[in-house]
């Protein structure tokens, strides 16, 4: 092959390499590959072009003896330098950055569970406190004596139970927010971008036991008219792992209180 035609080969193969490289980058970008991958694809295309250029290159003079050994070593060093230098020039994966991201996710979760626990404890303390005050007043009113035990029971337990269920409702509503049920379910006219059923009337359609079962095992019930979403398993099967038992109780209490008949909550169908 003449000097002149080899030059043409170099130009033609380089141009093809750049063309193929650009197409790869375009496809990689459309399919949302990270930038570093886009660069790698371009480099691969250019390496491919380089191989084809080498195939057409005029043959070298034959090396003999020690010159051959030196040639081999030099070739090895040059290729190594190109590889290492090239790789070092690409954007590097930094474990610290990844750690930082994970830390952010964990921080939010830790804060959440701590906050949730603290609020639950405060709520419990409040209920106990009210109950104690009630009993105390009752004792005072009755002035002690044998009837105290029987008399104290009835009047105090009613308000205590009421405030306990009120707290449970608030905790349940909080679980609705924390577990992000609103992402899929519209409630009080809010949320539900991912199109699950509106739940404003679910308290009339499912018993607390049914609701509990649905949360723990979403496949156990299917909302009528949501066959496709049910089959695809749209409702996540993760709450049994994410939620404490008391949190599920609170959420169920909250859901049971939803009895707005003006909203068309679909009929739940028992699946298993
Ligand atoms: C990623 C979307 C998604 C999330 C998040 C989600 N759900 Fe669902 N849910 C659905 C879909 C879709 C259906 C309808 C299909 C089915 O029944 O499985 C449904 C059905 C239900 C039903 C039955 C409704 C009916 O009328 O039969 C209840 C109750 C329910 N979800 C409660 C919850 C609760 C409580 C949470 C939060 C702990 C939650 N869902 C989180 C998607 C979701």
The parent domain of residue 262 ranges over 179-272
- Find the length of the chain: 272
Q: Are 115 and 195 in the same domain? A: no
Q: Flag whether pLDDT at 27 surpasses 60.
A: yes
Give the C-alpha separation, 134 to 140, whole Å: 10
Give the C-alpha separation, 177 to 74, whole Å: 66
Note the pLDDT of residue 148. Answer: 45
Residue 126 is encoded by which pair of tokens?
Answer: 């409040």
Average pLDDT, the chain: 86
Give the C-alpha separation, 35 to 101, whole Å: 19
Q: Flag whether pLDDT at 157 surpasses 70.
A: no
Asked if 163 and 170 count as a contact pair (C-beta separation under 8 A), the reply is no
Rounded to an integer, the average pLDDT of 206-220 is 97
- Domain termination site, one of 117, 146, 167: 167
Rg (CA), the chain: 35
Give the C-alpha separation, 206 to 198, whole Å: 14
What is the pTM (predicted TM-score) of this model? 0.52
Q: Flag whether pLDDT at 95 surpasses 60.
A: yes
Q: Are 83 and 113 in the same domain? A: no
Note the pLDDT of residue 265. Answer: 95
Q: Are 117 and 29 in the same domain? A: no
**Number of separate domains in the chain:** 3
Residue 65 located in a structural domain:
no
How would you class 10 by CB atoms within 10 Å of its CB: exposed for 0-12, middle for 13-18, buried for 19 or more?
middle
Asked if 166 and 229 count as a contact pair (C-beta separation under 8 A), the reply is no
Q: Are 111 and 187 in the same domain? A: no
Q: Are 195 and 264 in the same domain? A: yes
Percent with pLDDT over 70 in the chain: 91
Q: Are 185 and 232 in the same domain? A: yes
Note the pLDDT of residue 126. Answer: 86
Asked if 176 and 243 count as a contact pair (C-beta separation under 8 A), the reply is no
Q: Give the pLDDT band of residue 158 (cuts 50, 70, 90).
A: very low
Residues lining ligand 1, Cβ inside 6 A:
179-181, 183-185, 194, 196-197, 199, 202, 211, 214-215, 218, 221-223, 226, 229-230, 234-236, 239, 251, 255, 265-266, 268
Ligand 1 centroid to 229 CA: how many Å? 10
């Amino acid at each position: 092959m003449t000097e002149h035609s080899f030059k043409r080969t170099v130009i033609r193969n380089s141009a093809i390499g750049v063309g193929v490289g650009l197409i790869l980058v375009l496809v990689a970008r459309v399919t949302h590959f990270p930038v570093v991958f886009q660069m790698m694809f371009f480099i691969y295309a250019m390496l491919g072009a380089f191989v084809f250029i080498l195939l057409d290159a005029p043959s070298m003079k034959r090396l003999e003896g020690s010159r051959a050994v030196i040639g081999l070593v030099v070739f090895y060093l040059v290729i190594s330098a190109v590889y290492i230098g090239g790789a070092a020039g690409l954007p590097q994966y930094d474990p610290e950055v990844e750690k930082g991201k994970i830390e952010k996710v964990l921080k939010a979760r830790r804060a959440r569970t701590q906050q949730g626990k603290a609020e639950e404890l405060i709520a419990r303390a409040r209920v106990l406190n009210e109950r104690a005050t009630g009993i105390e007043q009752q004792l005072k009113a009755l002035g002690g004596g044998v009837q105290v035990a029987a008399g104290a029971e009835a009047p105090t337990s009613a308000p205590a139970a009421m405030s306990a269920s009120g707290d449970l409702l608030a905790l349940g509503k909080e679980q609705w927010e924390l577990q992000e049920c609103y992402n899929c379910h519209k409630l009080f006219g809010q949320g539900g971008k991912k199109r699950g059923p509106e739940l404003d009337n679910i308290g009339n359609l499912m018993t607390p036991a049914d609701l509990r079962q649905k949360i723990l095992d979403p496949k156990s019930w299917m909302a009528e008219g949501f066959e496709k979403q049910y089959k695809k398993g749209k409702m996540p099967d993760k709450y049994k792992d994410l939620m404490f038992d008391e949190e599920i109780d609170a959420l169920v209490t909250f859901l049971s209180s939803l009895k707005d008949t003006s909203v068309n909550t679909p009929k739940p169908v028992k699946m298993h």
